[in-house]
């Protein structure tokens, strides 16, 4: 692969028309490279979530796997715990729960609606250095009457996502292990790989 810095200037500018086309092409390529790269510090804010949710709603996904892949992609910024806290997932609602981790909730998202790209909780566990490691998301859907919660939310396509009504919290819950592999399945409530 060659480096443009080593090319003589006359290689880039051969005629006025070609030089303009090459310049525009180089600018476009440079812009694409600059804006397509992401870092762990990339922030997925609520406007991004709303746009992604609208995109999700306008597309017909064939299966739950495609939905989980979209969710996985949209939660990558939460690998950085500081980003999650800054975006509202800042209340450790559970402390450490064996085989689940800590449940950091975003109180602004707590309601009676399932929104795939707006999970109410993010699951983290400290690594061996004490840094927070992102593991999974959890949905909490609060029915209007917790004494008679009715049927679970529709959630993901198909029958793989099995919701559980947590009487302690008064909400339908569903974990999705988007970062940490889970031998019991992506929608399992707990993960045996966590102590």
Give the residue extent of every domain in the chain.
Answer: 4-36, 46-176
- Is pTM beyond 0.85? Reply is no
For residue range 38-55, list pLDDT tens digits in order. Answer: 444 444 455 555 555 555
List the pLDDT tens digit at each of the 195 positions of the chain. 333 333 333 333 333 433 343 333 333 333 333 333 344 444 445 555 555 555 555 455 689 999 999 999 999 999 999 999 999 999 999 999 999 999 999 999 999 999 999 999 999 999 999 999 999 999 999 999 999 999 999 999 999 999 999 999 999 999 999 999 999 999 999 999 998
H or E segment to which residue 73 belongs: helix 64-74
For residue range 110-128, list pLDDT tens digits in order. Answer: 999 999 999 999 999 999 9
Q: Is 119 exposed, middle or buried (0-12, 13-18, 19+ CB in 10 A)?
A: buried
């Amino acid at each position: 692969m060659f480096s443009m810095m080593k090319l003589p200037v006359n290689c880039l500018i051969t005629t006025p028309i070609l030089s303009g086309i090459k310049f525009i092409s180089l600018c476009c390529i440079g812009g694409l490279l600059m804006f397509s790269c992401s870092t762990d510090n990339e922030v997925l804010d609520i406007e991004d979530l709303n746009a992604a949710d609208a995109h999700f709603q306008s597309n017909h996904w064939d299966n739950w796997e495609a939905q989980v892949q979209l969710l996985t992609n949209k939660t990558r910024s939460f690998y950085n715990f500081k980003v999650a806290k800054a975006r509202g997932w800042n209340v450790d609602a559970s402390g450490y729960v064996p085989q689940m981790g800590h449940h950091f909730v975003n109180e602004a998202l707590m309601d009676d609606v399932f929104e795939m790209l707006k999970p109410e909780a993010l699951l983290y566990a400290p690594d061996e250095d004490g840094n927070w490691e992102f593991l999974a998301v959890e949905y909490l859907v609060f029915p209007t009457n917790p004494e008679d919660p009715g049927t679970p939310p529709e959630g993901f396509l198909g029958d793989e996502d099995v919701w559980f009504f947590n009487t302690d919290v008064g909400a339908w819950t569903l974990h999705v292990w988007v970062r940490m592999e889970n031998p019991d399945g992506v929608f399992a409530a707990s993960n045996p790989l966590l102590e």
